[in-house]
Amino acid sequence: MTAPEPGTGYFVGPTDNPGPGVLVLQSWWGLNRATKSICDRLADAGYTTLAPDLADGALPATTDEARRALADADMNAVASLVQSSARLLRTVTADPAKPIAVLGYSSGASWALWLSSRCADDVGAVVTFYGSQSIPLDASQSAYQCHFAENDDLVTDLEKAELGLTLTEAKLQFEFHHYPGTTQWFAEEGMDGYDGGAEAIAWRRTLEFLATELPTGSQG
């Protein structure tokens, strides 16, 4: 397989033939080992995967550093990178005529939801972990699976409810999953708050959802 060249990121896919595309959008911790591991696992499951570096090389070590990096980021530049990465990924998938899926974590989850509305023709399925978005999603053509921590300082219960209402009003297919006793970052190995048991359940649900919405050749 030939990797996309523009931009900086992590590209990986099945060893034999391209699979359906999954765009991975990282949390504010940057393009770290956890994000790359997620991409590797998706490739093992048959997906062609691209994780653009939304943090421009930054790998914050503390919450304060991550918060500052996110606040200082050029949102227009990030938005452009997210959109161009989605379109680029489509060109190297098994069938470029078909939409891709997007998997986002925290701030990356917010971008995933945003992308599904702004580039509706490019995205057919969205999986989010502990993220929210306040924009209308009426233009979306995606199905959604959203995973939430029980104790989350960054995503409030009100924001979760508002996202559910937005998806309902847009008449979109969606499912919410909540994980008792977990906190933000429960699904990112190596991060404070990582919960292996909860992550295993969430990952199984993620793969089952993708197999339904974006089956690989072996699944189809």
List, for residues 129-149, the tens digit of each pLDDT value: 999 999 999 999 999 999 999
CA 66 to chain CA centroid, Å, is 18
- Asked if pLDDT for residue 219 goes beyond 70, the answer is no
Asked whether 28 and 2 are in contact (CB, 8 A), the reply is: no
Position 16 confidence tier, pLDDT thresholds 50, 70, 90: confident
- Candidates 100, 78, 79; CA nearest to 89 is 100
> Model-level pTM greater than 0.85?
yes
49 Cβ neighbours under 8 A, 6+ residues apart: 11, 12, 13, 21, 22, 23, 24, 39, 42, 43
Please compute the mean of the pLDDT values over residues 53-78 and round it to a whole number: 91
- Asked if pLDDT for residue 1 goes beyond 60, the answer is no
Ranges of H-type helices in the chain: 33-44, 63-72, 75-91, 107-118, 157-169, 196-213
**Structure confidence at residue 215 (pLDDT):** 85
Q: To the nearest 10°, the Cα dihedral for 203, 149, 137, 21?
A: -20
Amino acid (1-letter code) at residue 220: G
- Asked if pLDDT for residue 6 goes beyond 50, the answer is no
CA distance 45 to 178: 24
Q: Among the CATH numbers 3.40.50.1820, 3.40.50.2300, 1.10.10.10, 3.10.580.10, which is that of 9-213?
A: 3.40.50.1820
Q: What's the mean pLDDT when you consider all of the chain? A: 93
List, for residues 66-123, the tens digit of each pLDDT value: 999 889 989 999 999 999 999 999 999 999 999 999 999 999 999 999 999 999 999 9
**Structure confidence at residue 218 (pLDDT):** 52
Domain locations in the chain? 9-213
User: For helices 75-91 and 107-118, what crossing angle results, to 10°?
Assistant: 70
